[in-house]
């Protein structure tokens, strides 16, 4: 065996070259490993959590549910390819949707839940739910005791595109997960936001159960 301190060969209980206690060194390495393993589960820092091998492995194994259907963006692309009008409907839609948002023509929906699990575990469950629903994270806003994940909601055949904000906050021994979605340029989204948020919370619950946290999140619609 080799010394943890100087690398000399023949180290068993103590190193013959530098005298380093090898058993103490092994305990120190084990403690550091355990600390690193525990740290991400108690963290609310996105970069810390997403960088951990266990998290990356779990997220990498996720396969989005179902087949992706024809989206509103896909339909506009088809129209643009065959349209004789000379300008892009897709680009026009992208340009005017923020104007409608500023005018207040949009659909907002909010809901939240309290999760009885470590913050890192809850964030992993949230990231897993987004991956399952094929919702990519567009932006992360990090705070000391909270983290905001922002994801784009693709347009549907009868709904415009939108945005989903998911805020994770430490609240004593619990973690509050708040979802707020906005569908642009329409007063009613035919239940799209409500159904999406409910399905995300269902996936979060299943993921936490799979991680060994059996208490169902207490959900409330704002």
Going by C-beta distance under 8 Å and a sequence separation of 6 or more, which residues neighbour residue 100?
Answer: 106, 184, 185
Q: Minimal CA–CA distance to 76: which of 59, 95, 63, 104?
A: 95
3-state secondary structure 161-213: CEEEEEEEEEECCEEEEEEEEEEECCCCCCCHHHHHHHHHHHHHHHHHHHCCC
Cβ neighbour number for residue 78 with a 10 Å cutoff: 13
> What does the pLDDT look like over 163-209, one tens digit per residue?
999 999 999 889 999 999 998 767 778 899 999 999 999 999 999 99
Query: What's the confidence (pLDDT) of residue 70?
Result: 44
**Does 72-221 carry CATH code 3.30.160.110?**
yes
Q: Is pLDDT above 90 for 18? A: no
Which pair of structure tokens corresponds to residue 32? Answer: 């550091």
pTM here is 0.68
3-state secondary structure 109-139: EEEEEEECCCHHHHHHHHHHHHHHCCCCEEE
CA dihedral (32, 34, 35, 36) positive or negative: positive
> What does the pLDDT look like over 117-175, one tens digit per residue?
999 999 999 999 999 998 989 999 999 999 999 999 988 767 778 899 999 999 988 99
């Amino acid at each position: 065996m080799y010394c943890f301190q100087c690398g000399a060969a023949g180290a068993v209980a103590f190193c013959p070259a530098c005298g380093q206690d090898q058993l103490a060194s092994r305990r120190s390495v084990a403690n550091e490993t355990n600390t690193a393993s525990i740290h991400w589960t108690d963290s609310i820092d996105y970069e810390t959590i997403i960088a951990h091998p266990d998290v990356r492995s779990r997220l990498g194994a996720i396969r989005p549910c179902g087949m992706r259907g024809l989206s509103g963006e896909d339909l506009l692309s088809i129209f643009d390819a065959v349209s004789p009008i000379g300008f892009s409907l897709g680009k026009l839609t992208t340009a005017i949707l923020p104007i409608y948002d500023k005018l207040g023509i949009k659909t907002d929906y909010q809901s939240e839940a309290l999760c009885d699990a470590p913050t890192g575990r809850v964030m992993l469950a949230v990231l897993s739910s987004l991956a399952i629903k094929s919702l990519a994270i567009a932006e992360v806003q990090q705070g000391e005791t909270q983290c905001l994940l922002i994801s784009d909601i693709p347009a549907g055949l009868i709904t415009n595109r939108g945005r989903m904000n998911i805020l994770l906050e430490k609240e004593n021994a619990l973690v509050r997960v708040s979802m707020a979605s906005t569908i642009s340029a329409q007063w009613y989204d035919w239940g799209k936001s409500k159904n999406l948020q409910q399905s995300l919370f269902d996936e979060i619950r299943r993921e936490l159960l799979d991680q060994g946290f059996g208490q169902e999140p207490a959900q409330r619609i704002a």
